[in-house]
Amino acid sequence: EIVLTQSPATLSLSPGERATLSCRASQSVSSHLAWYQQKPGQAPRLLIYDASNRATGIPARFSGSGSGTDFTLTISSLEPEDFAAYYCQHRGKWPPGATFGQGTRLEI
């Protein structure tokens, strides 16, 4: 079973700063990694798929990189609405179950 470990657990930054969030897989997941943003009381929202592809409607300040076991979500210049929880996620073809990281809380 693949385990995803996110760091840091909490990241305290200010609007306009750059945020760098990490996700490490216990074994290679190739580029099969996604990132989600979740605000309180809302469902997760897909940001990045296949490690580096922005989902439809996601601003260009969000970018993803990495392959194999080490992945990064970067927010180039934080906007007030970006303060939320972020999760990485992997799913393989078989078994078809998914795994989530434990999350990073991005706070002001």
Q: Applying CB under 8 A, which residues contact another protein? A: 32-34, 36, 38, 42-46, 49-50, 55, 87, 89-93, 95-103
Q: How far apart are CA 32 and CA 49, in angstroms?
A: 8
Nearer Cβ to another protein (15/92):
92
Cβ 87 to another protein shortest distance, Å = 6
Structure tokens at 20: 């760098």
Q: In this structure, which amino acid lies at residue 28?
A: S
Cβ 94 to another protein shortest distance, Å = 9
Longest dimension (CA), the chain: 41
Nearer Cβ to another protein (16/94):
94
- Decide if 92 contacts 31 (C-beta within 8 A): no
**∠ at Cα 76 (72, 80), nearest 5°?**
110
Q: What is the CA radius of gyration of the chain?
A: 13
Cβ 40 to another protein shortest distance, Å = 9
Nearer Cβ to another protein (19/33):
33
Nearer Cβ to another protein (1/60):
1
